[in-house]
């Protein structure tokens, strides 16, 4: 027997009744961390999962809750946006995938897309300083709002076919695999909180009091360096999560404060 009853046959769709009750319970502070899962809500109200999904979809659309693919819905942060996009530490970082998984609309404004030589970046990738690199800089948007400034460098010798791609609505990694046969399957990454410069604050639409996550990545395909990436992600809209267990566990080697060449964080699962 269900714990809550919806009225059938009065002309009001069940999903609409469920939506109203879930909103009321949300406003009353009943769901501090997360809403019950679809099965639990279906059993509690005596309705189908389709009805539950429709109600939750409406709540996501109006910003009341956020939910990634395969995850329970949870109350949104202030303004319905804070922290609504997550990136697990146990899989390759991808803004495109993270934004799509959060149910947001992904779009990019391409600011720079050219071939250039950059000795500093080439050295970081273990390449000769004069190596030509494909440089792509994008302002990443989620639901039309600035989320990140993303800069990536790729060896032209393998990445030249990407110069014909429109990266306004597509992710880099799928195109890298499809057009160049390159799969980024490993690497080193450094994540730290910083206060961006004024120009980047204006791009991201944030004030001086909002920190961003600075993510630097050396991407590898096997043992071959195929990517250097520097991304600044709004800290009020993005979070990094980790999964662990008593059996497998995880390990993060943090960068030592004050060093010129910090050790990138590493996450391992035996």
pLDDT tens per residue across span 238-261? 776 666 666 655 544 444 333 333
CA 2 to chain centre: 37
> Would you state the CATH architecture of domain 14-76?
Orthogonal Bundle (1.10)
Rounded CA-CA distance 210/232 in Å is 12
The pLDDT, as a whole number, for residue 176 is 95
Going by the DSSP 8-state scheme, the letter that residue 164 receives in this structure is: G
- H or E element that contains 9: none
Enumerate residue ranges in the chain where pLDDT < 50: 1-2, 78-83, 85-92, 251-270
Rounded CA-CA distance 12/15 in Å is 8
Residue of 209, 83, 235, 89 whose CA lies nearest to 148: 235
- What is the chain's length? 270
Structure tokens at 203: 């791009």
- Let me know: does 215 contact 191? Beta carbons within 8 Å: yes
How does pLDDT run across 115-124, given as a tens digit for each residue?
999 999 999 9
The pLDDT, as a whole number, for residue 75 is 74
Specify the pairing of strand 224-234 against strand 238-241. Answer: unpaired
Tell me where in the chain the CATH 3.40.1410.10 domain(s) lie: 80-242
DSSP 86-123: EEETTS---HHHHHHHTTPPEEEEEEEEEEEE-HHHHH
Longest dimension (CA), the chain: 73
Rounded CA-CA distance 4/14 in Å is 12
Tell me where in the chain the CATH 1.10.10.10 domain(s) lie: 14-76
**CATH class of the structural domain 80-242:** alpha beta
């Amino acid at each position: 027997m269900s714990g809550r009853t919806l009225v059938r046959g009065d002309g009001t769709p069940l999903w609409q009744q469920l939506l109203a009750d879930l909103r009321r319970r949300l406003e009353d502070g009943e769901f501090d961390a997360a809403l019950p899962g679809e099965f639990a809500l279906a059993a509690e109200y005596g309705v189908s999962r389709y009805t539950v999904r429709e109600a939750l979809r409406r709540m996501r659309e109006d910003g009341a809750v956020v939910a990634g693919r395969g995850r329970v819905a949870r109350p949104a942060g202030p303004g319905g946006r804070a922290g609504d996009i997550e990136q697990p530490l146990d899989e390759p970082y991808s803004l495109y995938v993270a934004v799509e998984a959060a149910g947001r609309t992904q779009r990019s404004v391409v600011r720079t897309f050219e071939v250039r030589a950059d000795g500093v970046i080439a050295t970081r990738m273990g390449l000769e300083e004069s190596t030509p690199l494909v440089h792509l800089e994008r302002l990443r948007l989620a639901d039309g709002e600035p989320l990140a400034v993303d800069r990536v460098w790729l060896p032209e010798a393998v990445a030249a076919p990407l110069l014909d791609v429109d990266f306004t609505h597509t992710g880099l990694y799928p195109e890298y695999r499809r057009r160049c046969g390159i799969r980024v399957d490993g690497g080193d990454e450094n994540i730290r909180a910083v206060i961006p410069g004024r120009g980047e604050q204006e791009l991201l639409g944030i004030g001086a009091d909002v920190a961003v996550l600075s993510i630097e990545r050396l991407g590898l395909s096997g043992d071959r360096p195929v990517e250097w990436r520097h991304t600044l992600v709004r800290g009020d809209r993005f979070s990094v999560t980790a999964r662990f267990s008593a059996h497998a566990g995880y390990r993060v080697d943090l960068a030592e404060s004050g060093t010129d060449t910090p050790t990138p964080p590493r996450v391992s699962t035996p």
